[in-house]
Protein backbone atom coordinates (compact mmCIF):
# COMPACT_ATOMS: atom_id res chain seq x y z
CA UNK A 1 0.00 0.00 0.00
CA UNK A 2 2.95 2.36 0.56
CA UNK A 3 4.10 1.99 -3.08
CA UNK A 4 0.51 2.51 -4.16
CA UNK A 5 0.49 5.69 -2.12
CA UNK A 6 3.65 6.95 -3.90
CA UNK A 7 2.13 6.32 -7.34
CA UNK A 8 -1.13 7.92 -6.28
CA UNK A 9 0.75 11.02 -5.06
CA UNK A 10 2.66 11.43 -8.34
CA UNK A 11 -0.44 10.91 -10.44
CA UNK A 12 -2.47 13.31 -8.34
CA UNK A 13 0.10 16.08 -8.65
CA UNK A 14 0.59 15.74 -12.41
CA UNK A 15 -3.11 15.51 -13.21
CA UNK A 16 -4.11 18.28 -10.81
CA UNK A 17 -1.48 20.66 -12.18
CA UNK A 18 -2.39 19.93 -15.79
CA UNK A 19 -6.14 20.28 -15.25
CA UNK A 20 -5.91 23.50 -13.26
CA UNK A 21 -3.38 25.08 -15.64
CA UNK A 22 -1.19 26.15 -12.72
CA UNK A 23 2.48 27.01 -13.00
CA UNK A 24 4.59 24.86 -10.65
CA UNK A 25 7.40 26.58 -8.73
CA UNK A 26 10.16 25.06 -6.65
CA UNK A 27 11.38 26.15 -3.23
CA UNK A 28 14.45 27.73 -4.83
CA UNK A 29 12.24 29.74 -7.18
CA UNK A 30 10.04 30.90 -4.31
CA UNK A 31 13.07 32.10 -2.35
CA UNK A 32 14.61 33.82 -5.38
CA UNK A 33 11.35 35.60 -6.17
CA UNK A 34 10.93 36.67 -2.53
CA UNK A 35 14.43 38.15 -2.47
CA UNK A 36 13.46 40.19 -5.53
CA UNK A 37 9.88 41.22 -4.73
CA UNK A 38 9.25 41.12 -0.98
CA UNK A 39 8.41 44.70 0.08
CA UNK A 40 9.90 44.38 3.57
CA UNK A 41 13.24 43.25 2.15
CA UNK A 42 13.21 45.99 -0.48
CA UNK A 43 12.51 48.57 2.23
CA UNK A 44 15.47 47.31 4.27
CA UNK A 45 17.66 47.40 1.16
CA UNK A 46 16.76 51.05 0.58
CA UNK A 47 17.54 51.88 4.22
CA UNK A 48 20.94 50.23 3.87
CA UNK A 49 21.70 52.25 0.72
CA UNK A 50 20.58 55.40 2.52
CA UNK A 51 23.01 54.72 5.38
CA UNK A 52 25.79 54.11 2.88
CA UNK A 53 25.04 57.38 1.13
CA UNK A 54 25.16 59.22 4.46
CA UNK A 55 28.87 58.50 4.95
CA UNK A 56 30.08 61.47 2.91
CA UNK A 57 27.62 63.81 4.59
CA UNK A 58 28.93 62.68 7.99
CA UNK A 59 32.57 63.53 7.22
CA UNK A 60 31.88 66.78 5.39
CA UNK A 61 32.43 70.13 7.17
CA UNK A 62 29.73 72.75 7.42
CA UNK A 63 28.97 74.81 4.34
CA UNK A 64 31.15 77.91 3.87
CA UNK A 65 29.73 81.34 4.63
CA UNK A 66 30.02 84.08 1.98
CA UNK A 67 29.84 87.63 3.25
CA UNK A 68 29.96 91.23 2.01
CA UNK A 69 30.54 94.27 4.25
CA UNK A 70 30.57 98.01 3.51
CA UNK A 71 31.60 100.83 5.83
CA UNK A 72 31.36 104.60 5.77
CA UNK A 73 28.21 104.92 3.68
CA UNK A 74 26.45 108.29 4.25
CA UNK A 75 22.86 108.20 5.39
CA UNK A 76 21.69 109.58 2.05
CA UNK A 77 24.40 107.82 0.05
CA UNK A 78 24.36 104.89 -2.38
CA UNK A 79 25.33 101.56 -0.85
CA UNK A 80 26.82 100.38 -4.13
CA UNK A 81 29.23 103.29 -4.64
CA UNK A 82 29.31 105.73 -1.70
CA UNK A 83 31.40 103.75 0.77
CA UNK A 84 34.79 104.21 2.35
CA UNK A 85 35.57 100.49 2.54
CA UNK A 86 34.03 97.32 1.11
CA UNK A 87 34.94 93.80 2.16
CA UNK A 88 33.89 90.65 0.23
CA UNK A 89 34.97 87.14 1.16
CA UNK A 90 34.12 83.75 2.62
CA UNK A 91 34.50 82.01 5.94
CA UNK A 92 34.81 78.30 6.68
CA UNK A 93 34.60 76.66 10.09
CA UNK A 94 36.22 73.27 10.76
CA UNK A 95 35.85 70.92 13.69
CA UNK A 96 38.93 69.48 15.32
CA UNK A 97 40.42 67.24 12.57
CA UNK A 98 40.13 64.02 14.60
CA UNK A 99 36.38 64.55 14.84
CA UNK A 100 35.92 63.87 11.15
CA UNK A 101 37.55 60.48 11.50
CA UNK A 102 35.15 59.54 14.30
CA UNK A 103 32.17 60.92 12.35
CA UNK A 104 33.20 58.58 9.53
CA UNK A 105 33.64 55.69 11.96
CA UNK A 106 30.15 56.30 13.32
CA UNK A 107 28.69 56.46 9.80
CA UNK A 108 30.42 53.22 8.80
CA UNK A 109 29.10 51.52 11.94
CA UNK A 110 25.58 52.78 11.14
CA UNK A 111 25.82 51.40 7.58
CA UNK A 112 27.14 48.06 8.86
CA UNK A 113 24.38 47.96 11.47
CA UNK A 114 21.80 48.46 8.73
CA UNK A 115 23.51 45.80 6.62
CA UNK A 116 23.24 43.36 9.54
CA UNK A 117 19.55 44.21 9.78
CA UNK A 118 19.24 43.57 6.05
CA UNK A 119 20.96 40.18 6.48
CA UNK A 120 18.57 39.35 9.32
CA UNK A 121 15.53 40.34 7.24
CA UNK A 122 16.80 38.22 4.35
CA UNK A 123 17.47 35.23 6.64
CA UNK A 124 14.12 35.52 8.40
CA UNK A 125 12.27 35.90 5.10
CA UNK A 126 14.02 32.85 3.65
CA UNK A 127 13.05 30.83 6.73
CA UNK A 128 9.41 31.94 6.46
CA UNK A 129 9.33 30.97 2.78
CA UNK A 130 10.76 27.54 3.59
CA UNK A 131 8.28 26.99 6.42
CA UNK A 132 5.34 28.03 4.27
CA UNK A 133 6.55 25.85 1.41
CA UNK A 134 6.81 22.81 3.68
CA UNK A 135 3.42 23.66 5.18
CA UNK A 136 1.89 23.54 1.69
CA UNK A 137 3.64 20.24 0.98
CA UNK A 138 2.16 18.88 4.21
CA UNK A 139 -1.34 20.00 3.25
CA UNK A 140 -0.96 18.42 -0.16
CA UNK A 141 0.22 15.18 1.43
CA UNK A 142 -2.91 15.21 3.60
CA UNK A 143 -4.96 15.81 0.45
CA UNK A 144 -3.43 12.77 -1.19
CA UNK A 145 -4.10 10.71 1.92
CA UNK A 146 -7.76 11.79 1.95
CA UNK A 147 -8.17 11.06 -1.76
CA UNK A 148 -6.85 7.55 -1.24
CA UNK A 149 -9.14 7.01 1.75
CA UNK A 150 -11.99 8.39 -0.35
CA UNK A 151 -11.23 5.90 -3.14
CA UNK A 152 -11.00 3.03 -0.65
CA UNK A 153 -14.33 4.07 0.89
CA UNK A 154 -15.96 4.26 -2.54
CA UNK A 155 -14.58 0.86 -3.47
CA UNK A 156 -15.85 -0.72 -0.24
CA UNK A 157 -19.23 1.00 -0.72
CA UNK A 158 -19.69 -0.63 -4.12
CA UNK A 159 -18.74 -4.01 -2.69
CA UNK A 160 -21.14 -3.54 0.22
CA UNK A 161 -23.99 -2.75 -2.15
CA UNK A 162 -23.34 -5.92 -4.10
CA UNK A 163 -23.34 -7.91 -0.87
CA UNK A 164 -26.65 -6.31 0.15
CA UNK A 165 -28.16 -7.23 -3.22
CA UNK A 166 -26.83 -10.74 -2.83
CA UNK A 167 -28.38 -10.97 0.61
CA UNK A 168 -25.01 -11.55 2.28
CA UNK A 169 -25.27 -8.57 4.62
CA UNK A 170 -27.73 -6.02 5.98
CA UNK A 171 -28.20 -2.58 4.35
CA UNK A 172 -26.57 -1.01 7.40
CA UNK A 173 -23.04 -1.46 6.02
CA UNK A 174 -23.78 0.29 2.72
CA UNK A 175 -25.61 3.12 4.49
CA UNK A 176 -22.74 3.61 6.93
CA UNK A 177 -20.21 3.60 4.09
CA UNK A 178 -22.30 6.17 2.22
CA UNK A 179 -22.26 8.43 5.28
CA UNK A 180 -18.51 7.99 5.64
CA UNK A 181 -18.03 8.85 1.98
CA UNK A 182 -19.80 12.19 2.48
CA UNK A 183 -17.71 12.84 5.59
CA UNK A 184 -14.47 12.24 3.68
CA UNK A 185 -15.72 14.45 0.82
CA UNK A 186 -16.30 17.29 3.31
CA UNK A 187 -12.78 16.86 4.65
CA UNK A 188 -11.39 16.97 1.09
CA UNK A 189 -13.29 20.19 0.41
CA UNK A 190 -12.09 21.75 3.65
CA UNK A 191 -8.45 20.88 3.10
CA UNK A 192 -8.64 22.19 -0.48
CA UNK A 193 -9.63 25.59 0.90
CA UNK A 194 -6.77 25.36 3.38
CA UNK A 195 -4.41 24.56 0.50
CA UNK A 196 -5.61 27.56 -1.54
CA UNK A 197 -5.19 29.87 1.45
CA UNK A 198 -1.67 28.55 2.07
CA UNK A 199 -0.74 29.34 -1.53
CA UNK A 200 -2.10 32.87 -1.09
CA UNK A 201 0.04 33.29 2.02
CA UNK A 202 3.09 32.11 0.07
CA UNK A 203 2.35 34.64 -2.70
CA UNK A 204 2.03 37.34 -0.02
CA UNK A 205 5.43 36.41 1.47
CA UNK A 206 7.03 36.44 -1.98
CA UNK A 207 5.53 39.84 -2.72
CA UNK A 208 3.47 38.84 -5.73
CA UNK A 209 0.37 40.84 -6.53
CA UNK A 210 -2.36 39.74 -8.93
CA UNK A 211 -0.28 36.70 -9.79
CA UNK A 212 -1.32 33.92 -12.13
CA UNK A 213 -2.44 30.63 -10.51
CA UNK A 214 0.51 28.57 -9.35
CA UNK A 215 1.33 25.49 -7.33
CA UNK A 216 4.55 24.08 -5.88
CA UNK A 217 6.77 21.19 -6.84
CA UNK A 218 8.35 18.55 -4.67
CA UNK A 219 7.23 16.01 -2.10
CA UNK A 220 7.46 15.97 1.66
CA UNK A 221 9.92 13.31 2.72
CA UNK A 222 12.38 12.79 5.54
CA UNK A 223 16.00 13.90 5.13
CA UNK A 224 18.14 13.36 8.24
CA UNK A 225 20.41 16.26 9.21
CA UNK A 226 23.47 16.08 11.46
CA UNK A 227 23.78 19.11 13.75
CA UNK A 228 27.23 20.30 14.84
CA UNK A 229 27.03 22.49 17.94
CA UNK A 230 30.59 23.86 17.65
CA UNK A 231 30.05 25.08 14.10
CA UNK A 232 26.70 26.64 14.98
CA UNK A 233 27.92 28.43 18.10
CA UNK A 234 30.99 29.84 16.31
CA UNK A 235 28.91 31.74 13.75
CA UNK A 236 27.60 35.19 14.62
CA UNK A 237 23.92 35.94 14.29
CA UNK A 238 22.96 39.06 12.27
CA UNK A 239 21.23 40.54 15.33
CA UNK A 240 24.45 40.08 17.31
CA UNK A 241 26.34 41.81 14.51
CA UNK A 242 23.80 44.62 14.61
CA UNK A 243 24.33 45.01 18.36
CA UNK A 244 28.10 45.00 17.86
CA UNK A 245 27.93 47.81 15.30
CA UNK A 246 25.51 49.70 17.53
CA UNK A 247 28.15 49.44 20.26
CA UNK A 248 30.72 50.94 17.87
CA UNK A 249 28.34 53.80 17.11
CA UNK A 250 27.93 54.52 20.82
CA UNK A 251 31.70 54.42 21.33
CA UNK A 252 32.16 56.93 18.51
CA UNK A 253 29.49 59.18 20.05
CA UNK A 254 31.31 59.07 23.38
CA UNK A 255 34.58 60.12 21.73
CA UNK A 256 32.83 62.87 19.79
CA UNK A 257 31.37 64.19 23.04
CA UNK A 258 34.90 64.65 24.36
CA UNK A 259 36.07 66.19 21.08
CA UNK A 260 33.34 68.81 21.35
CA UNK A 261 35.44 70.35 24.17
CA UNK A 262 38.26 71.08 21.73
CA UNK A 263 38.37 74.38 19.80
CA UNK A 264 37.00 74.81 16.32
CA UNK A 265 39.00 76.51 13.59
CA UNK A 266 37.60 79.26 11.39
CA UNK A 267 39.38 80.47 8.28
CA UNK A 268 38.39 83.68 6.51
CA UNK A 269 39.65 85.06 3.18
CA UNK A 270 38.45 88.36 1.76
CA UNK A 271 39.11 91.27 -0.57
CA UNK A 272 39.03 94.91 0.63
CA UNK A 273 38.13 97.80 -1.68
CA UNK A 274 39.09 101.34 -0.52
CA UNK A 275 38.24 103.81 -3.32
CA UNK A 276 40.29 106.69 -1.85
CA UNK A 277 43.41 104.63 -1.37
CA UNK A 278 46.13 103.89 -3.89
CA UNK A 279 46.07 101.08 -4.72
CA UNK A 280 42.34 100.66 -4.09
CA UNK A 281 42.24 96.83 -3.71
CA UNK A 282 43.75 94.73 -0.92
CA UNK A 283 43.67 91.08 0.17
CA UNK A 284 43.26 89.72 3.65
CA UNK A 285 42.69 86.60 5.73
CA UNK A 286 41.98 85.46 9.27
CA UNK A 287 42.44 82.30 11.29
CA UNK A 288 40.47 82.03 14.49
CA UNK A 289 39.87 79.47 17.21
CA UNK A 290 36.48 79.03 18.82
CA UNK A 291 36.79 77.69 22.37
CA UNK A 292 33.63 76.16 23.89
CA UNK A 293 33.95 77.94 27.26
CA UNK A 294 30.23 78.04 27.91
CA UNK A 295 29.86 74.58 26.46
CA UNK A 296 31.92 73.09 29.29
CA UNK A 297 28.82 72.91 31.47
CA UNK A 298 26.61 71.26 28.87
CA UNK A 299 29.54 69.20 27.57
CA UNK A 300 29.96 67.39 30.86
CA UNK A 301 26.36 66.22 30.76
CA UNK A 302 26.76 65.21 27.12
CA UNK A 303 29.88 63.20 27.94
CA UNK A 304 28.16 61.39 30.80
CA UNK A 305 25.13 60.70 28.64
CA UNK A 306 27.28 59.29 25.82
CA UNK A 307 29.21 57.17 28.31
CA UNK A 308 26.07 55.61 29.75
CA UNK A 309 24.72 54.95 26.25
CA UNK A 310 27.98 53.25 25.30
CA UNK A 311 27.80 51.10 28.43
CA UNK A 312 24.16 50.25 27.64
CA UNK A 313 25.01 49.21 24.09
CA UNK A 314 27.76 46.91 25.41
CA UNK A 315 25.31 45.14 27.68
CA UNK A 316 22.78 44.98 24.86
CA UNK A 317 25.36 43.19 22.73
CA UNK A 318 25.95 40.67 25.54
CA UNK A 319 22.18 40.22 25.81
CA UNK A 320 21.88 39.47 22.10
CA UNK A 321 24.71 36.92 22.33
CA UNK A 322 22.96 35.19 25.23
CA UNK A 323 19.68 35.23 23.29
CA UNK A 324 21.41 33.59 20.33
CA UNK A 325 22.71 30.73 22.48
CA UNK A 326 19.30 30.31 24.09
CA UNK A 327 17.53 30.28 20.71
CA UNK A 328 19.98 27.69 19.42
CA UNK A 329 19.40 25.52 22.48
CA UNK A 330 15.60 25.80 22.22
CA UNK A 331 15.62 25.13 18.48
CA UNK A 332 17.99 22.19 19.00
CA UNK A 333 15.64 20.65 21.57
CA UNK A 334 12.61 21.07 19.30
CA UNK A 335 14.59 19.66 16.37
CA UNK A 336 15.75 16.56 18.26
CA UNK A 337 12.21 15.91 19.54
CA UNK A 338 10.69 16.19 16.07
CA UNK A 339 13.39 14.03 14.52
CA UNK A 340 12.88 11.27 17.08
CA UNK A 341 9.13 11.33 16.48
CA UNK A 342 9.58 11.07 12.70
CA UNK A 343 12.07 8.22 12.92
CA UNK A 344 9.92 6.33 15.43
CA UNK A 345 6.85 6.55 13.23
CA UNK A 346 8.88 5.56 10.18
CA UNK A 347 10.14 2.40 11.84
CA UNK A 348 6.82 0.98 12.97
CA UNK A 349 3.61 2.98 12.97
CA UNK A 350 3.31 3.66 9.23
CA UNK A 351 3.96 0.11 8.08
CA UNK A 352 1.82 -1.37 10.81
CA UNK A 353 -1.12 0.87 9.85
CA UNK A 354 -0.80 -0.14 6.18
CA UNK A 355 -0.66 -3.81 7.12
CA UNK A 356 -3.68 -3.36 9.39
CA UNK A 357 -5.78 -1.99 6.50
CA UNK A 358 -4.70 -4.82 4.18
CA UNK A 359 -5.65 -7.47 6.75
CA UNK A 360 -8.94 -5.72 7.58
CA UNK A 361 -9.89 -5.42 3.89
CA UNK A 362 -9.22 -9.10 3.15
CA UNK A 363 -11.02 -10.21 6.33
CA UNK A 364 -14.06 -8.01 5.56
CA UNK A 365 -14.29 -9.36 2.01
CA UNK A 366 -14.06 -12.90 3.38
CA UNK A 367 -16.79 -12.18 5.91
CA UNK A 368 -14.40 -12.65 8.83
CA UNK A 369 -14.56 -9.05 10.07
CA UNK A 370 -17.34 -6.53 10.50
CA UNK A 371 -17.56 -3.24 8.72
CA UNK A 372 -16.90 -1.41 11.98
CA UNK A 373 -13.53 -3.12 12.24
CA UNK A 374 -12.68 -2.12 8.66
CA UNK A 375 -13.76 1.48 9.30
CA UNK A 376 -11.58 1.59 12.40
CA UNK A 377 -8.60 0.32 10.39
CA UNK A 378 -9.12 3.01 7.72
CA UNK A 379 -9.50 5.67 10.39
CA UNK A 380 -6.29 4.48 12.07
CA UNK A 381 -4.39 4.62 8.76
CA UNK A 382 -5.62 8.13 8.05
CA UNK A 383 -4.76 9.28 11.55
CA UNK A 384 -1.25 7.77 11.50
CA UNK A 385 -0.48 9.33 8.11
CA UNK A 386 -1.76 12.71 9.30
CA UNK A 387 0.34 12.48 12.46
CA UNK A 388 3.39 11.54 10.42
CA UNK A 389 2.83 14.44 8.05
CA UNK A 390 2.48 16.80 11.00
CA UNK A 391 5.66 15.35 12.50
CA UNK A 392 7.52 15.94 9.23
CA UNK A 393 6.24 19.50 9.13
CA UNK A 394 7.36 20.08 12.74
CA UNK A 395 10.74 18.53 11.92
CA UNK A 396 11.43 20.95 9.09
CA UNK A 397 10.00 23.96 10.95
CA UNK A 398 12.37 23.25 13.86
CA UNK A 399 15.22 22.75 11.39
CA UNK A 400 14.55 26.09 9.72
CA UNK A 401 14.32 27.72 13.16
CA UNK A 402 17.71 26.21 13.90
CA UNK A 403 19.06 27.66 10.65
CA UNK A 404 17.72 31.10 11.59
CA UNK A 405 19.16 30.90 15.11
CA UNK A 406 22.61 29.84 13.91
CA UNK A 407 22.71 31.89 10.71
CA UNK A 408 23.76 28.78 8.75
CA UNK A 409 21.99 26.75 6.07
CA UNK A 410 21.81 23.09 7.18
CA UNK A 411 19.86 21.47 4.36
CA UNK A 412 19.82 21.96 0.61
CA UNK A 413 16.57 23.21 -0.89
CA UNK A 414 17.16 20.83 -3.82
CA UNK A 415 16.00 17.98 -1.58
CA UNK A 416 12.46 19.36 -1.67
CA UNK A 417 12.26 19.35 -5.46
CA UNK A 418 12.32 15.56 -6.01
CA UNK A 419 11.31 12.39 -4.28
CA UNK A 420 8.14 10.76 -3.03
CA UNK A 421 6.20 11.08 0.16
CA UNK A 422 7.30 8.72 2.87
279: in domain: no
pLDDT of residue 2: 43
Q: Which domain holds residue 245?
A: 2-63+96-264+296-416
Q: Are 177 and 370 in contact (CB under 8 A)?
A: no
30: in domain: yes
Q: What is the CATH number of the domain that holds 232?
A: 1.20.1600.10
pLDDT digits (tens, 9 = 90+) for 270-316: 998 888 777 778 888 899 888 877 666 667 888 888 899 999 999 99
Q: Which residues of the chain have pLDDT under 70?
A: 1-21, 168-170, 173, 227-235, 294-298, 370-371, 418-422
pLDDT of residue 235: 59
pLDDT of residue 310: 92
69: in domain: no
Instruction: Please state, in angstroms and rounded to a whole number, the distance separating the CA atoms of residues 252 and 356.
Output: 71
pLDDT of residue 295: 64
pLDDT of residue 112: 93
Cβ within 8 Å of residue 358, ≥6 positions away:
1
Instruction: Please state, in angstroms and rounded to a whole number, the distance separating the CA atoms of residues 26 and 128.
Output: 15
**DSSP code string of 32-57:** HHHHHH-HHHHHHHHHHHHHHHHHHH
pLDDT of residue 14: 44
pLDDT of residue 314: 93
74: in domain: no
76: in domain: no
276: in domain: no
17: in domain: yes
pLDDT of residue 421: 37
15: in domain: yes
pLDDT of residue 180: 77
Cβ within 8 Å of residue 304, ≥6 positions away:
none
pLDDT of residue 399: 92
Distance, CA of 258 to chain centre: 39
Total domain count, the chain: 1
CB atoms within 10 A of CB 200: 12
pLDDT of residue 13: 46
Backbone angles phi, psi at 265, to 5 degrees: -105, 135
Most distant CA pair in the chain, distance: 137
Instruction: Please state, in angstroms and rounded to a whole number, the distance separating the CA atoms of residues 382 and 324.
Output: 39
Amino acid sequence: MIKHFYLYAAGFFLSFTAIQGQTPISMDTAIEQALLHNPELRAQTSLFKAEQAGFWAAISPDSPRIFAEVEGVPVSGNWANDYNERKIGFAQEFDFPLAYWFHGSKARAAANQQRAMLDWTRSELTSRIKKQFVHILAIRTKQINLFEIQDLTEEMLQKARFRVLAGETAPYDSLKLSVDRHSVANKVSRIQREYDLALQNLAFLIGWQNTEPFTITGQLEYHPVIFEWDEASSSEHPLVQQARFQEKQAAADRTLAWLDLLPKVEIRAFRIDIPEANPAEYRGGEIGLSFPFWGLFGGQGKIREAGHRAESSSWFRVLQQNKQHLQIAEARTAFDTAREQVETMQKSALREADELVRIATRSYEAGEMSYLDLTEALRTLSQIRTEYTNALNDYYVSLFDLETATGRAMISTDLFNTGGTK
